[in-house]
Amino acid sequence: MTLWKIRLVAFGLALVSAVAAIGGTIVLSVDGPDGHKYFDMGMLQEMPSVTIETETIWTDGEQVFTGVSLQELARHLGIENGAFEAVATNAYSVEIPMTDAVEGGALIAYERNGLAMTVRDKGPLWIVYPYDHNPRYRSEETYSRSIWQLEKLIVKP
């Protein structure tokens, strides 16, 4: 067997092991200094949740979002500095500085108005901010960071 085939088999086995360990469909992967971490919806929902009520420029009227704060996810991963590169299923990516991972800041939403979000409805994960609660969040820069169909975070130093 050639070296590249051995590597391909090893990668496949590692991925199968990761999925088996999680037990559910992976909805978020994180590439960080400690390697790759994978989260299914249940793992995200087991973390402390936050709910915000806010209007967005993409929806009509006030919306209620529930999810895990970016601050909590960073804490869970042991990340204090740098930034996240957030990547969507359509390959859109944007850098989100750790200064957004604060109390009352960005939220990785997995529910909108009490329902799980589908891919057609900007889900299953959408980074939202409490736009109505802080004028700083009503800017083109923050709107560009409000990535929907989030599937991957890459930790940047």
**Residue 144, in any domain of the structure:** yes
Q: pLDDT category, 1, cuts 50, 70, 90?
A: low
**Residue 101, in any domain of the structure:** yes
Torsions phi, psi of 67, nearest 5?
Answer: 180, -160
Q: pLDDT category, 9, cuts 50, 70, 90?
A: very low
Count helices and strands in the chain by DSSP H and E runs:
4, 10
End-to-end Cα, the chain, rounded Å: 37
**Residue 14, in any domain of the structure:** no
Averaged confidence pLDDT in the chain? 89
* CATH number of the domain where residue 42 is located: 3.90.420.10
**Residue 17, in any domain of the structure:** no
pLDDT at 12 over 80: no
Which pLDDT does position 46 carry in this prediction? 97
**Residue 34, in any domain of the structure:** yes
Domain range holding 105? 25-156
Q: 67-118, pLDDT tens digit by residue? A: 999 999 999 999 999 999 999 999 999 999 999 999 999 999 999 999 999 9
Tokens of 10: 């090893």
- Measured on CA atoms in the order 50, 53, 54, 55, is the torsion positive or negative? positive
**Residue 7, in any domain of the structure:** no
- Total of domains in the chain: 1
Q: What percent of the chain has pLDDT over 70?
A: 85
Q: Considering just the CA atoms, what is the radius of gyration of the chain in Å?
A: 16
Q: Provide mean pLDDT across the span 135-153.
A: 97
**Residue 15, in any domain of the structure:** no
